[in-house]
Chain A
Amino acid sequence: MSFLHIDHVSKYFPNPSGDGQVCIFKDVTIKIEKGEFVTTIGHSGCGKSTLLNIIAGLETPSEGGVTLNGREASGPGLDRMVVFQNFALMPWMTVFENIALAVRSAYPEWSSEQVTAHVHKYIMLVGLKGAEDKRPVALSGGMKQRVGLARAFSIEPKVLLLDEPFAQIDALTRGVIQEELIQMWNTSRNTVFMVTHDVDEAILLSDRILLMTNGPDSRIAEMVHVTIPRPRSRETIIEHPHYYKIRNHIIHFLVRHAKHGPDLDGTSPSHPTDGGPVSVSFELETVMP
């Protein structure tokens, strides 16, 4: 039994143009081991954020379910914390208060000194010392998401759900925060499920990358193992011989599915007909250093 098991999950929405239902995605099964970092990539509208919200318990699946550590995970909870694309910081609270709100709920038995010390530890960790009493409006996008990461890591959740966490951050800052995320994850080793558009980001951070076909009626078509050893950094990872192989493979997949659309997917060799995604792995021995 895997740690986080997304078990045959489907999601339908009522058709906006009339009766009937639109299938967002169908029969998605993902097994994630403890401490694994798994990313889903797909075009806009393929339902990857909906999938993440279902794992978080913020939306309910039409079919199937999610189990965490052998227990069914329905409804939101402190064991599955989300880092949101648009940060979701409370604008009327300071940086400290935003994090403390989560910490107090996660550790209700703690004294206020313990809470304060814990919050400060995570503020230090994301390099926001001195900004504790600022409100989100006074922070840049990058700093806002640092608060979002600090809030998420501070409650030490079993699973961390990253919903396009760096999409609204400028390219230069994005790289810096990605490396900060790697460092935080290296010490905490949470199980992470991330969705993103960004192929480089996915390769840098993930153990496995799941490729989703276009919606509606999308599925997970392929599973790419990132066969690049850790620790990774943005500087060195591009030197690794697997890097561009993986990158090209994913980009080919995305371009192909953008061109054809879902009706031609059945003809695509990578599209599974029997349910399970095709596993793609670049063997180490094919590469000469």
Chain B
Amino acid sequence: MTEQVKGNPWFIAGFLLVIFLLGWHLFTLRPTFEAGGMTEEQLQMMEFNGDIVRGADGAFKWNPEKEKVRGVPGPLAVLEKARTELAEAFQIKGTNDHGIAYLVLYTVSRFAAGFLAASIIAIMLGVVLGLNRVLFRAINPFIQILKPISPLAWMPLLLYTVKDPKWTAILVVFMAALWPTLATTAFGVSSLRKEYLHVAAIVQLSWLKRLFKVILPAAAPTIVNGLRISFGSALVAVVPAEMLLGELGVGYLSWIEWNNLDIAGVIFAILVVGVVGVVLDSGFNKLAGLVTYQE
């Protein structure tokens, strides 16, 4: 017998977050610069090296620019970075310096284009293979070989053939999203319960009705499972694709900030990727709930 577990999960989650942030803060904390005990020469040397700067009050303090790459920035530094980035979310300052809102938009549309195209093609092909056992067995070895290839491995070839990083990024997402949906759709359709097809055959549904009223709805839960795996792998693929191709987006943001040696910016970019993923995922789950059924 399982006992009734008491407690508020939100409270525990909040508590863990506070512990984490506090630990992060304490471990990355640097004591303020103490000039006491140092000779004038030493101080001049440090100022010359850019380790310290003279503040408005005339006292020395650590150079904030150099602090950015000294160790891991603390939560307050990341918060500060997030505040400035969100304040200019809708600004376009240069070719490679678009506000965070634009970057999210680019990534989401790139992701959506690749994922939707892959899903439509994978479902269509999967239904054909699922309905034709011989064809399924003929094509299956190819699927098995192509499925485990990392979508990023295709990138040089895709870049070489389509010659456009924009399309290459979408195609990398496409390759990431194609195989899981294709394999599960074919499996789902081929293992449909026979009675559904028997009923469809007895009441003489046309093949179009058979497809849309019986086969696809019946296989929907399995197809959605495949889409869910595709969704995750496409989301994972879009970030390195942007980095490697230099296409503007939240994945690329992390790389730009690394090139700027702005570690707080890198952490901020990571968090944005996480938030975008959660939002897309919950949207997907809502859609998935509409087409699945209980037996």
Contacts and interface: CB of A to CB of B under 8 A. Distances in A.
Contact of A78 (B204, B217, B294): B204
B93 interface: no
A84 B195 contact: yes
Interface string A78-91: 10111010101011
B209 to A, nearest CB: 8
Given A84-B195, A90-B218, A155 B201 contact: no
B196 A84 contact: no
5 contacts: A76-B202, A78-B204, A84-B195, A90-B199, A102-B199
A76 B295 CA distance: 26
B198 to A, nearest CB: 5
Contacts of B160: none
B202 A78 contact: yes
Contacts of B193: 88
Interface in B182-220: 193, 195-196, 198-199, 201-205, 213-214, 217-218, 220
B202 A80 contact: yes
A106 interface: yes
A127 interface: no
Interface string B238-265: 0000000000000000000000000000
Interface of A: 56-58, 75-78, 80-82, 84, 86, 88, 90-93, 101-102, 105-106, 135, 137, 155
A88 B201 contact: no
A101 B213 contact: yes
Contacts of A82: 198-199, 202
Contacts of B214: 90
Contacts of A80: 202
A66 to B, nearest CB: 14
Nearest to A108: B204
Contact of B198 (A77, A84, A106): A84
Contacts of B204: 76-78, 105
A56 B218 contact: no
Given A135-B294, A137-B294, A92 B217 contact: yes
Contacts of B199: 82, 84, 88, 90, 102
Nearest to B209: A105
B293 interface: yes
Nearest to B203: A105
B203 A91 contact: no
B293 A137 contact: yes
Contact of B196 (A78, A81, A90): A90
A101 B203 contact: yes
Contact of B293 (A56, A75, A91): A91
Given A75-B201, A76-B198, A76-B201, 16 more contacts: A56-B198, A57-B202, A58-B198, A81-B202, A82-B199, A82-B202, A84-B198, A84-B199, A88-B196, A90-B199, A92-B218, A92-B293, A101-B213, A102-B203, A105-B204, A135-B293
8 tightest Cβ-Cβ pairs between the two chains A and B = A88-B195, A92-B293, A105-B203, A76-B201, A137-B294, A76-B202, A92-B217, A102-B203
A77 B202 contact: yes
A77 B205 CA distance: 10
A58 B198 CA distance: 7
A143 to B, nearest CB: 15
A234 B220 CA distance: 43
A76 B218 CA distance: 20
B198 A90 contact: no
A76 B194 CA distance: 14
A92 B204 CA distance: 19
A92 B196 CA distance: 11
Nearest to A84: B195
Contacts of A102: 199, 203
A75 to B, nearest CB: 8
Contacts of A84: 195, 198-199
Nearest to A138: B294
Nearest to B221: A92
B195 A86 contact: yes
A137 B203 contact: no
A58 B202 CA distance: 8
A82 B202 CA distance: 8
A145 B128 CA distance: 32
Contacts of B198: 56, 58, 76, 82, 84, 88
